[in-house]
Each structure stands twice: as structure tokens, then as C-alpha cells.
Copies of this chain bind each other. A is one copy, B any other.
Amino acid sequence: MIRIAVLGAGRIGRIHGRNAANHPDARLVAVADPHAPSAQELAAATGADVASLDDIVERSDVDAILICTPTTTHADLIERGARAGKAVFCEKPVDLSSARIEACLGMVEKAGTPLMIGFNRRFDPNFANLRRRLADGEVGEVELVTILSRDPGPPPVSYIATSGGLFRDMMIHDLDMARFLLLGDEPVEVHAVGSSLVDPEIGKAGDVDTAAVLLKTAKGRIVQISNSRRATYGYDQRVEVHGSKGMIRAGNIHRTTVEVANAAGVTADPVQDFFLERYADAYRAELGAFLAAVKAGKACEPTGRDGLMAQRLADAATESAQSGKPVRL
């Protein structure tokens, strides 16, 4: 039984906390959040204790910590957890600075403790199935990867300002997905463009809301990613890989299978529009994978280095979009 503490009882902390509480191999022992009512509510729902962030990392009855606090605290908490010998699961990103990430990962490596970064989409049953079949060679060699990702609506402009920008905040998931699908072949050239088309306030805040990157890998494979902060039709999450023996893709999940036909055409239900619903299975599988690795004493994946590489790609994309020039890695 792996004893878990969750740090941060916000939206994502509640998901991981409940999944931990429901998992047969885990027990949620403690919850910490500076906002006491949030911590209390999650603790009450799961039978866990409320504790302070400081205490929780040191507690001897905690084997693993789930870091679900704001980004700026991630690297410190990872280091404190590693120092205390805890297995650490940390929501992406480790930090907005690649240098800080590198320092943190160096410390964790020295500690020799497990660390897993929360790129939840790798655990979506659809994308995971696609990746497995790709790795099995079902469509031959990967040649072109196309990733389309659109959010239902933009976050508040106040959030945008501290988010690190679209490439680091939103596209980082797609950049990690690209690496996941490239099976080890790393991007070496990043072209990015971005615009503020959805909301001029986002532009005034110095960010973009519509963006695309073009990546080329060491072996010449090509990746295209596009993002929009707003889709009237839901949370759009699609992946397609063109290979030497065929094409494989995975896409959106409609709210129901209902279709209506009339003079306007044949209308399928809208796609699921909330990421917590769309990726509910993924979050469960992600925590399961973390616990399974910890239990088996095996390496966690996505690794800290996966977090670093995605961050570097996001940095490169940010730089390319600003300079108008490609960035080589």
C-alpha cells in the first residue's frame, strides 16, 4: 500500500487525490493547501488528514507526494520531496525556466528517488493505444505527425500574464505528445508563428492565442502542431501519424453517440468540452502508472528529462515566434 500525500487541493489536486484514494494499491494520507477549505473538503471526501505543505513532505508515513501546486513552487517541492526520499509525481511543468529544471533534475538524480512528470495525454486510452500500435510498427516508419489542439475558451487574461505564454502553457502538451509519437527521434529545428486572433487583450498581455509550429527531427521527420485558445465546438484534441505503411489517428470523444438527420444534415453530438471530463480516464491511468512504477521500483515515465525536453521545445517555439526565425536544438 503506497501512502500518498497530495500538495495542492485545487482542480487538478482534487482529481489526483480522489484517484489516489480510490486506487487499490494506494492510500491518501494527507492533503495540504494554503487555502484551508479546499484542503479540508478533499480530506473529508477521502478520509485523509489536512497538513501543512512543510509537514507533509517530511512525514514518515508518506511514501509519495503528488505536486499539484502553482508552477512556481514545483521545482522547490520536487527537491524537498527527493531530499526526504519520497517518490514524486509533479504536474507539468517543472518550472518555466529550463535552467531551473536542469538544476532540479540534477538534484533528483543525485537523490536517486523516483520522479514522474504529469503529461496526462500520454495516458489517454486513445493516444496510448495509437502509440502502442505505432511502436509495434503497424503503420511502418513515422514520417509526418499532425497534432491539432484547441481549447474551448481562453483562460482569464490575468492567468495568461503569468503562464509563460501559449507555447509553454498550452502547446507544451502537444510538444510532449510529438516526442511521445516520434519514438526517440528528437526535434532539432523549430519554426513557430503565433497571432492574437481570439482576444486582443491576450495580445496586449504579450501573448498569442493562435499558434502553430513546424518541427524537423534529427532523422528528417516532420511534425506540425496547431493551437487555438478557443473552439466553439468543444475541446479539440487530435493526433495523426502518417507512416510508410499507413496512417493512424485518434480523435475527439463525442458527448453521446446520438445523431440526428434532418434537412440541415446529419448532426453528431458535440465533442466533450471540458478537459477534466475528456481526460478523466487518462488521469486515472497516469496515477496508476506512477503507483505501478513506484511499487515495482522501476523508472517512472514521462521522466524529468521528458519535462525538460518539452520545456526546451516550448522555449524554442516562443523564441522562434518572437524572432521570426527558426531555432535549432
- Interfacial residues, chain A to chain B (CB-CB below 8 A): 125-126, 129-130, 133, 138-139, 141, 143-144, 146, 148, 150, 189, 191, 193, 195-198, 210-214, 216, 220-222, 224, 226, 228, 230-234, 236, 240, 242, 244-271, 324-326
Contact = CB atoms under 8 A, between A and B. Distances in A.
B220 A211 contact: no
B262 A257 contact: no
B233 A222 contact: no
B265 A246 contact: no
Given A195-B222, A212-B214, A232 B262 contact: yes
User: Oligomeric state, in number of copies?
Assistant: 4
23 contacts: A125-B256, A129-B255, A129-B269, A133-B258, A141-B197, A195-B220, A197-B220, A197-B221, A197-B244, A210-B222, A212-B214, A212-B224, A224-B224, A224-B226, A232-B261, A236-B261, A248-B258, A251-B257, A254-B265, A261-B270, A264-B267, A267-B268, A268-B268
B266 A257 contact: no
Contacts of A221: 195, 197
Contacts of A255: 129
A226 B226 CA distance: 13
A260 B141 contact: no
A233 B246 contact: yes
A233 B262 contact: yes
A236 B226 contact: no
A328 to B, nearest CB: 8
A189 B214 CA distance: 13
Given A242-B231, A264-B270, A214 B193 contact: yes
B262 A139 contact: yes
Q: Which of A233, A236, A260, A324 has the most CB of B within 10 A?
A: A260
Nearest to A266: B268
A65 to B, nearest CB: 26
A133 to B, nearest CB: 7
A233 B257 contact: no
Nearest to A210: B143
B262 A146 contact: no
A217 to B, nearest CB: 9
A267 B265 CA distance: 6
A138 B242 CA distance: 28
A40 to B, nearest CB: 17
Nearest to A224: B224
Contacts of A263: 232-233, 246, 270
Contacts of A271: 261, 266
A240 B251 CA distance: 15
A142 to B, nearest CB: 9
Contact of A222 (B226, B246, B249, B259): B226
B224 A214 contact: yes
B195 A214 contact: no
A248 B259 contact: yes
Contacts of A234: 261
